[in-house]
A and B are shown apart, each in its own frame.
Chain A
Amino acid sequence: MSDEQPKQDNPRLEKLLRRWGVDEASRQTRVGDLPITRGQPTPTPAAPARPAPAGTSSTRWRWLALAASLALVVGVAAVFFTNSGMFTSDAPHPPSDVASVKRNGSGKPVAVRPAPHVTPPTLPELTAPEPNAEMEAIKAQLKGMQAQLSAATAKRDEFAAELGNVKGALKKTELEFASREAVLKAASSLLKTDATRLRADLERFKTDAARLAVEGARLKAEVAQLKATPKVNRDELVKARRDLQTAKDSLIALSKRFEAKERAAEDAGKTLAKRDEELKQARMKLARLTTRDDKEQVKLRTLLASLQKELTALQADQARTRADLARAQDALAVANAKRTGNGGMLQTLYLAAAAPGQTGWHARKTAASGNRLLQRQAQLVKSLRSPETRKLFGTLDVALTQLDMLDATNARAVNSFKEMLSRANVANRLAAVLQAGAEREDVRQWLLEAQLVLLETPK
């Protein structure tokens, strides 16, 4: 088509085209007024299927403007529908017709929706509007459409952004959900393991508790039995010790009295001997003086009588002292017997408590090992105070070790052991150290126990 095309076409055709152009323009005006709704295709005016008629310059511009506006509308619609998800990659595209692709004035291909078949209405013939007014109307329409397009684009961008946000949030939520699910699975697994372990522990605790209850009951019974048994022995032992102490005290007092009487008797004996000597000398003197005068003889006889009187008194005093001495000796013997009896009773109790049901040297061996005398000796030896006790501890260590190895059924071996104790003077040394009281209480206790174990009759 050229601007210089002469006006030599069929006037009827030109008239028809003009009328169609008016028709199309009026229709375009109506279409521009319609609102654009999402998801519904905007009715697209059909593009002219034939070339614009050659005519005047205004007619040619009008056609060009129409074509441009149509192309713009179609483009906008296509963009709008594509972005609004009307046509996705999965959805089938509307049929593309090669014939619907036309080239615009600049030679670029323009995708055109297939136009519905338009039947030109049979309208009464109208006079063509003024081209300038049409242009203005089209421009206004174009501006309106551009504004709508801008609004729609903004809306689309807004929706797209919102969609992006929603998708992001969804993805984040999905990730969080997956993470929490994994955590929950792990926790569930752990809880299951813990539950199994706890159940096993519970079972074990139950078993242990039952076993401990049985053990506790058994121990309680044993403790009750043990409490009942040794208490009697302990009480008896305490009483025996008290009696022994009383006997010792009385013995010490008697010993002192005995010593005083002994000293008095000794003094009396000396005095008596002195008087005897004096009497003897007096008799000799009297014999010599028989030839002397009677006066002196009388004096001597008087002196002799007084001496005899004094001698008689002294002899009576001596007899009394001797009687006191005999009584003290008797008391001492009684006290000794009593003490020996107490010691024997204490020993019997000690051996019976340590070796119940045994007698003799078997019981002594069991008592020594049961009361761990050797082990205790090793611990106590560092705390000894006097050298005498230290020596005694050495001897007792040997004696107790020999006792441990002693064949109590062999009378010869037992006698040999007793002889060894006697030779080492163990009994007297033990009594001396115990009476001295210089050692600690636990040492004296150990010595007393050694005495009870080793000596047949403790002193």
Chain B
Amino acid sequence: MIRSGTILLAVTAALLAAGCGSSSTEYHRNGGTTPGAPSTTVAETEAEKEFEAARSLLAELKYAEAERKLVPLIGRFNGIGKTKRAAEAAFWSGYCCEQRELFDDARALYSRVIRDYPKTPAARQAAARLGRLPAK
């Protein structure tokens, strides 16, 4: 019993560290403008750089690392009014969860993209991906 409980705790900790499962909390926590954020241009440039890095990680199929970069970017892009980029960051977070077979988290993130950023290319892709996810 103790051993299985330890394994469960370890798995939960790993999931939280990876981002999936905690992504919803992060998503909300970073939803607004960060207090004391640098000027918009600098913040945007930095966020774009982070986003590029995350996309490169995605192309290298390093989904957990990519997701750790992507989740905070949702709030940062929202904070500087870049909602389209925020939608993309949220979508790619869901994509990472899907590739790691964390389908419930992926489903939640895709649904949020569709709900919060409708009529964006990310929402369209999220809807397509949501339809292809395995049934619960």
Contacts and interface: CB of A to CB of B under 8 A. Distances in A.
Contacts of A402: 55
A420 B55 contact: yes
B88 interface: yes
B61 A401 contact: no
A395 B57 CA distance: 10
A93 interface: no
A391 B95 CA distance: 16
Chain A interface mostly: helix
A391 B61 contact: yes
Instruction: Give the residue among B61, B88, B99, B122 with the most A Cβ atoms within 10 A.
Output: B61
Chain B interface mostly: helix
A152 to B, nearest CB: 101
B56 A424 contact: yes
B132 A420 contact: no
B56 A378 contact: no
Interface magnitude class on chain B: 10 to 19
Nearest to A416: B52
A374 interface: yes
A399 B59 contact: yes
Interface string A395-417: 10011011011000000000010
A404 B56 contact: no
Contact of B95 (A395, A401, A421): A401
Interface string B29-57: 00000000000000000000000100110
B41 to A, nearest CB: 14
Contact of B88 (A374, A405, A421): A405
A398 B122 contact: no
Interface string B61-103: 1000000000000000000000000001001000100010000
Contact of A420 (B56, B61, B88): B56
B87 to A, nearest CB: 9
Contacts of A401: 95, 125
8 contacts: A398-B59, A401-B95, A404-B125, A405-B91, A405-B125, A416-B52, A420-B59, A423-B56
Interface of A: 374-375, 378, 391, 394-395, 398-399, 401-402, 404-405, 416, 419-421, 423-424, 426
Interface of B: 52, 55-56, 58-61, 88, 91, 95, 99, 121-122, 124-125, 128, 132
Given A423-B56, A424-B56, A424-B59, 17 more contacts: A378-B132, A391-B61, A395-B60, A395-B61, A398-B55, A398-B95, A401-B95, A404-B121, A404-B124, A405-B88, A405-B122, A416-B52, A420-B56, A420-B59, A423-B59, A424-B60, A426-B59
